[in-house]
């Protein structure tokens, strides 16, 4: 006998359901990235309430990447400084590492949602593997 446990649909259907703790703390660019990605996932019915916190983190990392990238474009990837002897030394701008770390983190989170081409291909192949052939469906039908 099938269980009659009540199940709740966790599919997010409107953006008002996406406004979770931490949303207002995001900078305006991150809020836009978060909203856009939520709307894209809602449009195809793939957004669940359990995804929202990860998407919030993704938007924060993604916005940080772009902000640091803009700053590095202005400042340059290296600084010209002088050592104690007065010799000219080129030092790496620490924002380059911070930018790369933000992009790496954003990409790691994005792969969980199939937002990268490689991840989307993997998710699609998993869906195909889960589909049963007509023969498998017939064999499972058994003695109905």
**Range 124-135 average pLDDT:** 53
Q: Does some domain include residue 99?
A: yes
Mean pLDDT, range 100-104, rounded to an integer: 96
Reported as a pLDDT band with limits 50, 70 and 90, residue 112 is confident
Q: How confident is the model at residue 95 (pLDDT cuts 50, 70, 90)?
A: very high
C-alpha Rg value of the chain to the nearest Å: 23
Q: Is residue 120, in this structure, part of any structural domain at all?
A: no
Q: What percent of the chain has pLDDT over 70?
A: 72
pLDDT digits (tens, 9 = 90+) for 11-45: 899 999 999 999 999 999 999 999 999 999 889 88
Q: Please, which contacts does 105-112 make with residues 24 or more away whose CB atoms are closer than 8 Å?
A: 105/57, 105/61, 106/58, 106/61, 106/62, 106/65, 109/54, 109/55, 109/57, 109/58, 109/61, 110/58, 112/54
Residue 21 pLDDT: 93
Asked if the structure places residue 144 within a domain, the reply is: no
Return contacts of 23-29, CB within 8 angstroms, 24+ apart.
23/56, 26/56, 26/59, 26/60, 26/63, 27/63, 27/67, 29/63, 29/66, 29/67
User: Based on the structure, what is the number of domains in the chain?
Assistant: 1
Residue 10 lies in a domain: no
In a domain, 135, yes or no: no
Residue 55 lies in a domain: yes
Please compute the mean of the pLDDT values over residues 65-82 and round it to a whole number: 95
119 in any annotated domain: no
| Residue ranges making up the domain that contains 55 | 15-114
**Which residues, 6 or more positions from 47, have their beta carbon under 8 angstroms from its beta carbon?**
11, 12, 18, 38, 41
Residue 93 belongs to a domain: yes
């Amino acid at each position: 006998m099938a269980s009659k446990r009540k199940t709740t649909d966790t599919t997010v259907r409107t953006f008002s359901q996406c406004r979770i703790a931490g949303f207002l703390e995001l900078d305006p660019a991150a809020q836009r990235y978060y909203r856009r990605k939520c709307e894209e996932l809602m449009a195809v019915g793939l957004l669940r309430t359990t995804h929202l916190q990860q998407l919030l983190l993704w938007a924060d990392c993604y916005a940080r990447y772009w902000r640091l990238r803009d700053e590095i474009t202005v400042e340059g990837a290296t600084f010209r400084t002088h050592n104690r002897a007065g010799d000219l030394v080129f030092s790496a701008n620490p924002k380059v590492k911070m930018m790369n770390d933000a992009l790496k983190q954003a990409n790691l989170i994005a792969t969980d949602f199939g937002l990268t081409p490689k991840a989307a291909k993997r998710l699609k192949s998993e869906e195909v593997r889960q589909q049963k052939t007509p023969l498998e469906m017939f064999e499972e039908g058994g003695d109905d």
